[in-house]
Chains A and B, each alone.
Chain A
Amino acid sequence: MAKKGLGYYIVVRALMIIPTILILYTIVFILLRILPGNPILAVVGTRNIPPEQLKHLEHLAGLDKPLIIQYFDYLWNVLHGNFGVTLASPMGVPVINYIATRFPATLELTIWGFTFSVIIGLVTGMIAALKRGSKIDTGMRIYSIVAYTLFIPWFGMILQYVFGVILGVLPTGGRIDPRISLQTITGLYVLDSILTGNIPALISSIKHLILPGLTLGIVLSGAYTRLVRNNMVDVLSMDFIRSYKARGIPRYKITWYALKNAFIPVITLMGLQFAILLGGAILTETTFSWPGMGTFIVDRIEYRDYNSIQGAIIFFAFFVAVISLIVDVIYALLDPRIKY
């Protein structure tokens, strides 16, 4: 087979996200339009509004056109970064403005949650594999089930109570101490504080990230624990490990080689876990009053602001598609057996 190089693979894989995004867009569009209930009347609730105002609102939401036109209009707008305007107070604000300020918060939280989950999963899985068949192994197995079934808001609140209220060492909500001013560049507070050399902001933003990040990280780590353990048990029984042992290579080095080999399937799991991570982020944000996309969606649901909900969800669809692209590319880079 002719080898066309990594660049070619990346381009082909990037093109493949187009159908994925289109399908997700279509599903969300259809769901939000065919489901019963007039979104505008849902916004105004039980109040009686004059028909002309209803017309105006429907026009604002683009709901006065035929469905098929709406479908392409909205797609066209979205591709130009226009996610419509909010339909509830404050009315008429472009949804993209909200996304621009809210999304970095969610991204920062998910990066931390993701990092915690992988580190905890690797360590616990590795320990379980090295102590295979022992009580520790069973303990780790129980850990992976319990972690998976932890209900995020509940677990988050317990952490808040223990570390925020009883010990009083960590804040229970928000992204940064409101008394600290931070010049935002990327919207990722930790990165921004490093870039601007703002030490108090750095400490404060890290402190605010620990509890929500850990909540998300621990809940998601269970799946990694399991996978790393099983892969490592398989790798440790392979011939090359036995020959390393025969040659007297130190144990920590062998563990490292085994871990590297067991890591490849973990990358695939990372892609799948990311979707769960985003879902979990919504609950984590709500629990920790984290001003991200999740709390935005939940706020807007209370107003029944259908344009904002739609915009945020379509945006998530793009984001998920891009993440799965990145995961696939990393996978191809790391595993030399992958043919592209």
Chain B
Amino acid sequence: METRIKPKSLLSPLAKQLTSRLPGRGLLLAGLAIVLLFIGMAVFAPWISPYDPTKMVDKPFLPPSLKHLMGTNRIGQDVFSRIVWGSRIVLYVVFSATLLSMAIGIPLGLLSGYRGGKIDRVLSMFMDSMYSFPALILAIAIAAVLGPSPMNTAIAIAFVYIPTYFRMIRGQTLSIKNQLFIDAAHALGIPDKRIMLRHILPNLAHTILVVFSLSVADAILTEAGLSFLGLSVTPPTPDWGYDLRVGQPFFLNGQWWLVFFPGLSVMLLAMGFALIGEALSERLSLAQSI
């Protein structure tokens, strides 16, 4: 008997949304445009950035001009070049962190929701406690112990977002596992592992995509927060949050470009992902309400 269910691609909800005329398409397109812009900036940084971001290239504190689009900072580095290269750091940290927390949170959530019982109660209690604690403060503690480096920041951020994935996946698994097709799979004697991976997980694709976009948006702000507090990179590495901190005293003296552009980048990138998540979750709730 043919019991195979065609596994859906994780990206299929995104593709479907893009091609449909349902509400939220505008938000999605705007979000994707912003995100792709920054990803393009990170990938093509060596070609886009006009100067070496770590070298003194001109006089300090030059205001924005055609020569220096976003001016120069207190040690004469080109702010625009630092923004361009900084996108690499933030995307690297945030994507590694999110993938890491997905790799731990999703399997645990599946297992916990599907198996139930003691393991579910213990895991849920741990995850709920972690979830109730301020993510940034926990990340600060971990990052402080590990020491400043992009990889360590990624680990700290990954850790605090595990409960987000766990809780969402567990909840969805609980509701899916009582549906008829899972009973049918049981009746056919399909092993649990296969049911979880081939029958439940593909149905979570849309949820995962929504949580992914929203948690990336959040993680960008957390990364910027950690580096603002001096916990992410060490100078002269270009990093938005760190540049913001260094620029603060000069900003209040009127050298606005030192702070304005790095902060704007943080906000735009986070907003890009938030818009994608927003559009996708609207579509998801629409599908559920029909």
Q: Judge: A and B partners, yes or no.
A: yes
Which of these binds chain B: A118-126, A146-154, A188-196? A146-154
Q: Is the CB of B133 within 8 A of A301?
A: no
Contact A282 B140 (CB under 8 A): yes
> Shortest CB–CB separation between residue A110 and chain B, in angstroms?
11
Chain B 206-245 per-residue mask, 1 if CB under 8 angstroms from chain A, else 0: 0000000000010001001100111100000000010011
In the complex, the answer to whether B267 meets A23 with C-beta atoms within 8 Å is: no
Q: Which one, B1-9, B112-120, B141-149, is touching chain A?
A: B141-149
Within the complex, what minimum Cβ distance (angstroms) separates A295 from chain B? 10
Query: Which A residues lie within 8 Å of B144 (CB)?
Result: 301, 304, 309
Interface-forming stretch among B36-44, B176-184, B270-278? B270-278
Report how far A146 CA is from B274 CA in the complex, Å: 9
Q: Are B229 and A154 in contact (CB under 8 A)?
A: no
Q: Which of B140, B145, B221, B278 contacts A297 (CB 8 A)?
A: B140
B102 at the interface (CB under 8 A from A): no
Complex alpha-carbon distance, A283 and B225, angstroms: 7
Kindly identify, within residues 1 to 54 of chain A, every residue whose CB is under 8 Å from any CB belonging to chain B: 19-20, 23-24, 27-28, 31-32, 35-37, 39, 42
Q: Looking at the assembled complex, report how far the CB atom of B217 sits from the nearest CB atom of chain A, in whole angstroms.
A: 6
Residue of B nearest to A272 (CB): B132
Enumerate A306-325 residues with CB–CB distance to B below 8 Å. Answer: 306, 309-310, 313, 316-317, 320-321, 324
Q: Is B51 an interface residue (CB 8 A)?
A: no
Contact B137 A278 (CB under 8 A): yes
Q: How far is the CA of A321 from the CA of B132 in the complex (A)?
A: 8
B141 touches A309 (CB 8 A): yes
Residues of B258-276 at the interface with A, using a CB-CB cut-off of 8 Å, are 259-260, 262-264, 266-267, 270-271, 274-275
In the complex, what residues of B have CB within 8 A of residue A20's CB?
128-129, 132
Structural contact, B137 and A149, CB atoms closer than 8 A: no
**Which residues of A are found within 8 Å of B141, using beta-carbon distances?**
28, 31-32, 309-310, 313
- Quick one: closest A residue to B222, CB to CB? A279
Q: A210 within 8 Å of B by Cβ?
A: no
A239 within 8 A of B: no
Is B145's CB under 8 angstroms from A149's CB? no
- Give every chain B residue within 8 A of A153 (Cβ-Cβ): 225, 228, 241, 244-245, 248, 263
Closest residue of chain B to A153, judged by CB?
A: B228
Whether A160 sits at the interface, judged by CB under 8 Å, is yes
Complexed CA–CA distance, A152 and B220 (Å): 12
User: Complex Cα distance A278/B130, Å?
Assistant: 14
In the complex, the answer to whether A275 meets B267 with C-beta atoms within 8 Å is no
A280 contacts B by Cβ under 8 Å: yes
**Is A86's beta carbon under 8 Å from chain B?**
no
Number of residue pairs spanning A and B whose beta carbons lie under 8 angstroms apart:
143
B125 within 8 A of A: yes
**Contact present for A164 and B229 (CB under 8 Å):** no
A256 an interface residue at 8 Å Cβ cutoff? no
Interface of B, secondary structure class, is helix
Contact yes or no, A275 B134, CB < 8 A: yes
Contact call A31/B248, Cβ cutoff below 8 A: no
**Given A32-B141, A280-B136, A306-B145, A149 contacting B271 (CB threshold 8 A):** yes
Q: Knowing A23-B129, A153-B263, A161-B252 touch, does A32 contact B145 (C-beta < 8 A)?
A: yes
Q: Hey, which chain B residues are within 8 Å of A39, CB to CB?
A: 145
Within the complex, the shortest CB–CB distance from B163 to chain A, in Å, comes to 11
Closest to A160 in B: B252
Q: What separation, in Å, do the CA atoms of A23 and B2 have in the docked complex?
A: 46
Do residues A145 and B252 form an inter-chain contact, with CB atoms below 8 A?
no
Q: State in angstroms the CA–CA spacing of A146 and B147 once bound together.
A: 32
B142 proximity list for chain A (CB < 8 A): 31, 35
Residue numbers of B with Cβ under 8 A of A are 125-126, 128-130, 132-138, 140-142, 144-147, 159, 217, 221, 224-225, 228-231, 241, 244-245, 248, 251-252, 254, 256, 259-260, 262-264, 266-267, 270-271, 274-275, 278
5 interchain pairs, CB-CB under 8 A: A151-B225, A154-B263, A275-B135, A298-B229, A320-B132
The 10 A-B pairs of least Cβ separation, nearest first, read A154-B263, A279-B136, A279-B134, A23-B129, A149-B270, A149-B271, A151-B266, A278-B134, A275-B134, A35-B145
Q: Taking beta carbons and an 8 Å cutoff, which residues of A are in contact with B?
A: 19-20, 23-24, 27-28, 31-32, 35-37, 39, 42, 145-146, 148-155, 157-158, 160-161, 164-165, 172, 275-276, 278-280, 282-283, 286-287, 297-298, 301-302, 304, 306, 309-310, 313, 316-317, 320-321, 324
Add 17 more A-B contacts to A286-B229, A287-B248 (CB < 8 A).
A24-B133, A149-B267, A151-B221, A151-B263, A152-B225, A154-B244, A154-B264, A172-B252, A276-B134, A282-B137, A282-B229, A286-B228, A298-B230, A301-B140, A301-B229, A317-B133, A320-B132
